[in-house]
Each structure stands twice: as C-alpha cells, then as structure tokens.
Structure 1
Amino acid sequence: MKHIMYRFLAIIAFIALSTTISHAHFYYSYLPKKLHPNQLFSVTITSSNQTTNETLPSFSFDTTSTLEFLSQKPVVAKSGNDYFYTFYFKVLHPTSVTIPQVSIRSGGEEFFIEASNIPITSLQKRDDFCGVLATDMKIKTYQVSQYDDTRYLVTISLEALESNLEDMHLSITSEDGIEEIKRNHAKAEGEYFGLVSDSAISLNFTYYNTIQQNYIAYEIPLHIKDASVAGQVGLNPKDDSFEMVKRYTFIALTLLFLGFFLIKKDFFYFLLGIISLVTLVTFYIPYEKICVSKGSVVYILPTPTSTISGRINEDFETMLLDERGDFIKIEYNNQSIGWIKRENLCKN
C-alpha cells in the first residue's frame, strides 16, 4: 500500500514540476492580412511561458527575403508571462511578400517559425497621391516662400507612423525631395522641400492610411503675406514673422519678470527675467560668416539629386543662413538663395 502511495505522490510531483519548468513557446501573434507596394509594416512574435529571469531571446531572420529589415532589434513589451517582440519591415517586391523563416534562441534551445506569405494589392492610382503609406501622418509645420520669379519654395515638417516617408513625391512640383529623416521604430520625421509654380493657389496631396484603408487629403495654401520680404521668409529663418513674434514675447516676459522682482523683491522673478533676457539676446546674434570656395556648385534644394541653380565664380564671404545635413544655405549673386555642400567651404 505504501508503494502505491509513493508512486502516486511521485506522479503528482512530476506533473507539478513539469508545469513549473514548461518551456517558452514562440508564434506570430500579428501578421498583416494584405500589403501594398512600398508599405512599411510590423509583425509581432509572442513568447508564452517565458520566465522573468530569462535573458531575452535572439532572433535571426532569413536575409534572402525580398523585404527590407528596418531593425534587427525588436520593440519589446510584456503582459503577464507573455512577451511581445515587434519587428518592422518594408515591402520591396511589387507583387509578392514572404515573411522569412526566423530562428529563435532562448534558454539554451532553438525554435523556428516557418515563412509566411502575404498577398500584395495595388492601390488605386491618384494624381495627388504623395507616395506615402502610413498608419498616421501629420503636418507639424509648413512654410511658403518666393524662390524665384515664377516659383514658390514649400517646406513641410512631417511626422508619420509605420510610413515610407522617404518615398514622398508630389507630381505638381518641378523639383522636390525629403531630407533629415529620423526613424525610431514606428515613428518617422522628415523635412520635405518642393518647388511649385507661384500661379498655384494651394498645394494639395493625399497619403494612404493603412488602418482606415483610404486616402487622407491635405491642403496647404500658397500665400505670402508680405511680398517685399518673400525672398527672405523661410529662407532666412531669423527674419520671418514668427521670429518677430518670439522676440516681442520674450521682451514682454523680460519686462514682466523684472517688474515683479522690483515690486515683490523675490529673487525667483529676477532669475526668470535673466533667463528671458538671455533667450532674447540669442535672437539678435548675427549670422556666422563663411567663405565659399571658387567653383562651388549651388543647388536649389538641400538634396543629393537636386537641380543645380548656379556656380560660384570666385571665393567670397557670405552669411550662413541655415544647415541641413551636409548642405549649407547661403545668399549669393544679389540675394539669390541656394545650397552648397559643406565640403565646398574654403579650406583656410
């Protein structure tokens, strides 16, 4: 009788121990049902029964896939004993997508998730489509300035989620480009530049929202309030109307805080007044002078593929108006504005 009881207890202990040390299980918890050409998308791998003291698993995808890997490191989230590992990819092939086989090493073991096919569908063509697909896209700021006798220069600061922001192009422009793209997993930010005929009333474009599965429209009015300074607005960022508003605001704050200090004798207001004054002074710091070397090529936009607008015939000094990546904005030839590469500055 005792032997039977011991065996019964041993079986119970084995079952309990097996449950306690159950191994992690990996599987795709999210895959898109369909994709579009050039779309950026996410896939999520879930790990069940992963212990908290276990080191994070390593993932190895088949690199022969036609997808572009945006990051080999996943975004990690946890809920209970489940871990979620999200990766971001971009569709490169216009007709088919295969989520590659993935090898996972965790807890001294190796797991495999087999490849999975996702159908590709083309979007309905639209003349105003900017080429961006995203779960969301927002215009942070925009600016319109007179570039030359017949064209406006439009600059747009954009923020988008799960987007191919680098593919943005507007057919209405004579030239455009997007630079300074900063990507942090799903979020991307960038600066768009485009040249548009000054006979146009507005700049209209759409992006495709992959969640709502429809086109979202934007309209930017092409209007310059003061034509006399049109060539400077936006091209010389310290001379635009917004800068004037900021200057007057900090003048008012400086006077207000210093006034409170004189009345209440509270050092805190004096400190705030000094901070406002220092900030105000920065608005009046003159531009840095730079020397541009002879033979330098001047571009319309600060993009590698931009059209050449001129060439510098001799070394000369000018003001540094702005910087974007490897490009520097300058004024040359009687208030013409353009961009040169940083390498074209005088060596001495």
Structure 2
Amino acid sequence: MVARLFFLLIIGWYQLFAFTTIDEEPSVFVDPPALETPVEDLNAEESLVIEDLNDEEDPEISEPETPAERLIYLTIEDVPKKIYVGQIFPITVKITSLDKRRPYIVELENGKNVDVVKKHDDIPPQAINRLTYYFKAKGTSIRLPVFTVRYEDGTREYRIESVSLTAVKLNPPGEFSGVLARNMELINYQASSYDDGNNILALQLFVEYGNYRDFRLPGTFKQGIDSFEGDINGTTLLYYGVYPVGMEQVEFSYFNLEKNRYEKFQIPIIVKRSSVSTQTTLDPQASEFTKFKIVATSTFILLWLFLWIRTRRWSYPILIAAATAYLLTYLIPLKNVCIKAETTLYLLPTKQSTPFMRLYEETTAKEMDRNDRYTKVQLPNNRIGWVKNEDLCSH
C-alpha cells in the first residue's frame, strides 16, 4: 500500500514539471501596461457615450402607454320573450356616457333576418340614454345588428356584439291580412262604384303597434295604401281594394299579439246612394243591387197607392211620398261638371290618395259627390274618381 502511494506521488510530480514552466505562468505581481488614453479622458468619453444612449429613443425598451379610460357603456335591455315572423318588436339599448356633454352617434350593421323599422338619428348628449329601436322579424333565425357608438369627432368607438333570437312562424288562415298587431280596429268603410264591372271598397283602420305596411285584402285584383298617419305605436290607415260587381262581402283577419289569436272582420260591399241634395250619388246601372232597389221601391209605391184607394187611410200617402222621394234620388240625372285638361283623378278624396288616371283634354263628367276640397265624378267611360275642386272649369 505504501509503495502504491509513493508511485502515484512520483507520477504527479513528473506531470507538473513536464507541462508547466515558471515563465509561462502569469504572475499577479506584474504591472499592467500603461493606457494610451488618460483616465480622466476615458471617463469623459464614457460619460458622453452614456448621455448619447440616454438621448436615443429605443422603441423596444420604451414604457408602454396607459390604456385609455372607457367612457361609454352599452347594455341591451327589454328583449321580447316571444317573437313571430313578420312581427315588429322593440329592443331597448341603455347607453351610459361618462362624458355626458360629448355628442355621439349610434350605428347598426350586419343584422340577419331583421329590418330596422325605427331608429334614432338625434340623440341628446346626456349621462344615460335609453333608446328603443324597432325591428321587423323576417325569418325564424334572427341576429340583431351590432350596435356601435361613436363620438362625432371619430376619436372613440364602442360596440355591443350581435344577439341571436328565434322567431315563431305562423300558420295563418286563408283570409289573413298579413298584419300582426297589438290591436286593430275598423273605424269606417265605404263602397262605391269604380267602373262598369267593379266596385271600390275603402277602409279606415287603426293599427296599434303592428306591421300595417303588410296589410293585404284577399280576393281583390287591385289594392293599396291610400294614405296613413301616425307612428309605430298607433297608425290610422286608409286602404282601398277593387272588387268585381256582385261580390257582397269581404273577410280578412289579423293576428292579435295581446290575445295570441286571429281576429276576423266581415265587411259588406253595399254601394249606397243618398239624397240629391248632398249629391252623394252613384250611377243606377253600376250595380244589380241598385236596380233591385229601384224595382222594389216602385213596387211598394204601387201597392201603397192601391191600398190607399181602397181604404183611404192617410198613412199610405205619407209612405208613398217618402218612397217617391227616395226613388227620385236614383232617377234624377246627375249634374254635369267640366274638368280641366291635365287633371289627375284619385281613388279617394284624401291628401295622399293614389292617382289612377290623368285627363289630357278638357272633359265633361257627372258630379256624384263634393266636399270642401274634392269632387267625385263619373267620366263618359263610366270610370269614377275624385278630382280637386280647383281642377274644375270656372265656366
């Protein structure tokens, strides 16, 4: 064992003296070589380099900007629980602005199966706005538009992502008018002669919170909206439909959103003729029903005359006089009026009525009715319409 340790010690000393010399080993006592630049100048140069580095802008090491404070918050409120295809429904958006004096605008985009019926163009700058938008459902799968709020100067923009809704598709009856409304009332109606073979039926309806523009009458070959007034909450609608002579009744229905059911209207088509003094007249040949009234009235007059001759009761002359006056309203010829050239005839006597004919020459027609602004006339070709009173000839 001792011999082995002595052998290892000899090998170690041999390797030490064979590969290392005193001259090659650097000494810690040797002074370093002198610097070419004085210490004072080096310090000055280093300070200049440091200042130059501080002056340079390094985008990678610059401090991140503080995120801008959110100034507007949007929330969708009052979403309907049930929607039908074709229905007009409201969506209320609550907008909270921390900068309440700064005006902003709201834009809608990228909706699916919806039409915007009513939006807000003028929005007051205030802390909280609740804006109700009205949409019309066009399909069962609905995606509301994205609501984007933008300051008028374009500096900030906030948005609410779209919301998906599902609408129910109705299975309506054949007489369905296409209207879904909270309520619909028939205010008035009137039937009058349109031409030799057709009558025109005018309806005045009040539609509460409904899609009144989709209203249609069944079984008519010509129809349309004559005029309307109001807003989405309540609209008074004047509508017309042209039906062939001999059709005695029109039926139509609408879907009541409050009662969740269809409600039906039945309207008789009766072409009336009143007294000559008011000149609300129609041509006796325009309707078979009018002919029947003339024949029936004449028959009663002859019957009462026969009974009066036999009994001499004074009640019969009174009945005969009343029936004769009624009969004369159909037999006395209508007054002729002159219509100026380049005159437009309208279907109904309203401000926004539908024009259906234009007279390019001066024409003589029969006066059938008159009010403060319009005169109802029957043309030589038996077409009936309304003209403005200023379009009548002065002579």
Give the TM-score normalised by structure 2. 0.52
Q: Please tell me whether residue 292 in structure 1 is matched to residue 341 in structure 2.
A: yes
Find the partner of 2:92 among 39, 44, 47: 44
> Mean Cα displacement is larger for which, 32-41 or 162-171?
32-41
Q: What 5-or-longer segments of structure 2 have no aligned partner?
A: 1-68, 283-334
Cα displacement string for residues 69-125 of structure 1 (whole angstroms, at most 9, x for unaligned residues)? 233317989xxx85321112223x434321111112369753311101221322112
Find the partner of 1:105 among 120, 139, 150: 150
Amino acid at match of 1:132: V
> Mean Cα displacement is larger for which, 128-137 or 109-118?
109-118
Q: Please tell me whether residue 217 in structure 1 is matched to residue 264 in structure 2.
A: yes
Taking structure 1 as reference, are residues 323 and 94 closer, same or farther at Cα in structure 2, changes over 3 Å only? farther
Identity of aligned residues (%): 25
Shift of 1:178: 1.4
CA contact (8 A) 2:179 2:214 kept: yes
Secondary structure at the residue paired with 2:174?
A: coil
Find the partner of 2:78 among 22, 30, 34: 30
CA contact (8 A) 1:140 1:158 kept: yes
CA contact (8 A) 1:174 1:195 kept: yes
Q: Partner of 1:3 in structure 2?
A: none
Q: Partner of 1:164 in structure 2?
A: 211
Shift of 1:25: 3.2
Aligned pairs, number: 260
Q: Partner of 1:273 in structure 2?
A: none
CA contact (8 A) 2:175 2:218 kept: yes
Secondary structure at the residue paired with 1:206?
A: strand
Q: Partner of 1:195 in structure 2?
A: 242
Shift of 1:58: 1.9
Q: Partner of 1:94 in structure 2?
A: 139
Shift of 1:189: 2.9
Amino acid at match of 2:186: I
Amino acid at match of 1:172: G
Q: Partner of 1:147 in structure 2?
A: 194
Shift of 1:183: 4.9
CA contact (8 A) 2:195 2:382 kept: no
Q: Please tell me whether residue 208 in structure 1 is matched to residue 269 in structure 2.
A: no
CA contact (8 A) 1:143 1:234 kept: no
CA contact (8 A) 1:75 1:86 kept: no
Q: Partner of 1:134 in structure 2?
A: 181
CA contact (8 A) 2:185 2:207 kept: yes
What is the aligned-residue RMSD (CA, Å)?
Answer: 4.6
CA contact (8 A) 1:34 1:118 kept: no
Q: Partner of 1:259 in structure 2?
A: none
Find the partner of 2:130 among 66, 78, 84: 84
CA distance in 1, matches of 2:206, 2:98: 37
Q: What 5-or-longer segments of structure 1 have no aligned partner?
A: 1-20, 236-285
Taking structure 1 as reference, are residues 33 and 140 closer, same or farther at Cα in structure 2, changes over 3 Å only? same
CA distance in 1, matches of 2:372, 2:164: 44
Cα displacement string for residues 262-316 of structure 1 (whole angstroms, at most 9, x for unaligned residues)? xxxxxxxxxxxxxxxxxxxxxxxx99964134xx997878647x7x8xx868542
CA distance in 2, matches of 1:201, 1:317: 31
Secondary structure at the residue paired with 2:83?
A: coil
